[in-house]
């Protein structure tokens, strides 16, 4: 479209550039109206022819462009298909690559495992070779015992073959094993009994110590009780002695009170009342002594007054 516009621009520029710069009055003077009309028609015809040519060229170019566009669309479709195939190819290649890597890893791991197993087998083989060599040396050393056993069989009438000696050895070994097991059981039983004995001794010692403490506590309580008994017995004896003295003193006090009571009544010239208690007698004596004291005080006052 830009090429067509450029051609239109060139055409109009070529056709109208001269007229734009011509003097209109001069052209009007040289041409008549008919001539100008013909000229206009001729110009219009040329313009239509030029437009038709441009249109045909434009249509041809559009057809060419459409054809080219169709080709491009086909190529785009083809390219898209190729691209999809290529993507599929990449995906399949990636999957194959992952499978190949996984397979390679598995094969490498299996190879490493086999190498390790082979190394272990070789080590076991070397150990077996060493063990066989040691056994061969042991066998060589023990040939002497076999020869000795054969001489024993020849000289002994109890055994006929080496198997008999081995059988007897197995029997004795089994008996020895049984005896060792029984001895182990008896030893364990003896250890258990020793443990029970020590436990019993410990318990008896604890009980003895506990009973000893109880006896000591009871002995202390007994001694304390005996001491308290002696103290209280001494106190009771003292109380009894004190009571006896107090009873004797009370008897004397009663006798003195009764004598004073009788004397008071004798001085008054009255017979004493019988069956009066000691308290009543003491009250009477107190009253008598008070009266006597008052009389003495009054007499003393009178004597003083008479002397004055």
Answer yes or no: is pLDDT of 308 > 50: yes
User: Rounded to two decimals, what is the model's pTM?
Assistant: 0.27
Diameter of the chain measured on Cα atoms = 221
What is the average per-residue pLDDT within 282-301? 82
Q: Are 257 and 278 in contact (CB under 8 A)?
A: yes
Question: Distance of alpha carbon 275 from its chain centroid, rounded?
Answer: 102
Query: Can you give the pLDDT at residue 15?
Result: 52
Report the chain's mean pLDDT, rounded to a whole number: 79
Query: Can you give the pLDDT at residue 6?
Result: 53
d(CA 302, CA 307): 8
Q: Are 39 and 31 in contact (CB under 8 A)?
A: yes
d(CA 164, CA 153): 9
How many CB atoms are located within 10 Å of the residue 177 CB?
A: 10
How many CB atoms are located within 10 Å of the residue 130 CB?
A: 10
d(CA 256, CA 285): 11
pLDDT (tens digit, 9 = 90+) per residue, 145-168? Answer: 677 777 776 776 666 666 776 777
Greatest mean pLDDT range, 137-146, 236-245, 268-277: 236-245
d(CA 243, CA 163): 115
pLDDT (tens digit, 9 = 90+) per residue, 83-107? Answer: 888 888 888 888 888 888 888 888 8
Answer yes or no: is pLDDT of 13 > 70: no
d(CA 262, CA 276): 12
**In Å, how far are 68, 74, 89, 114 from 77, measured between CA atoms?**
14, 5, 18, 53
Six token digits for residue 138:
């042991």
% residues pLDDT > 70 (the chain): 83
């Amino acid at each position: 479209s830009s090429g067509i516009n450029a051609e239109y621009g060139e055409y109009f520029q070529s056709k109208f550039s001269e007229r734009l710069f011509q003097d209109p009055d001069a052209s009007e003077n040289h041409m008549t109206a008919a001539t100008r009309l013909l000229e206009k028609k001729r110009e219009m015809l040329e313009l239509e022819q030029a437009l038709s040519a441009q249109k045909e060229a434009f249509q041809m170019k559009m057809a060419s462009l459409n054809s080219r566009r169709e080709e491009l669309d086909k190529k785009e479709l083809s390219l898209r298909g190729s691209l999809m195939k290529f993507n599929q190819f990449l995906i399949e290649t990636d999957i194959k690559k992952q499978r190949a890597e996984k397979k390679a890893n598995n094969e490498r791991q299996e190879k490493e495992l086999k190498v390790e197993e082979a190394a272990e087998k070789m080590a076991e083989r070397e150990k077996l070779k060493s063990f066989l060599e040691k056994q061969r040396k042991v066998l060589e050393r023990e040939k002497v015992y076999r020869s000795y056993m054969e001489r024993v069989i020849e000289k002994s009438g109890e055994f006929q073959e080496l198997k008999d000696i081995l059988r007897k050895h197995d029997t004795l070994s089994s008996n020895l094993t049984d005896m060792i097991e029984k001895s182990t059981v008896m030893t364990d039983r003896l250890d258990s009994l020793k443990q029970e004995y020590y436990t019993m001794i410990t318990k008896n010692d604890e009980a003895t110590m506990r009973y000893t403490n109880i006896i000591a506590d009871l002995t202390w309580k007994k001694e304390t009780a005996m001491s308290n008994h002696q103290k209280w017995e001494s106190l009771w004896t003292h109380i009894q002695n004190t009571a006896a003295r107090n009873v004797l003193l009370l008897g004397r006090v009663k006798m003195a009170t009764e004598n004073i009571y009788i004397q008071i009544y004798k001085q008054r010239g009255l017979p004493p009342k019988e069956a009066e208690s000691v308290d009543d007698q003491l009250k009477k004596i107190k009253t008598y002594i008070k009266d006597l004291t008052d009389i003495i005080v009054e007499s003393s006052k009178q004597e003083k007054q008479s002397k004055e």
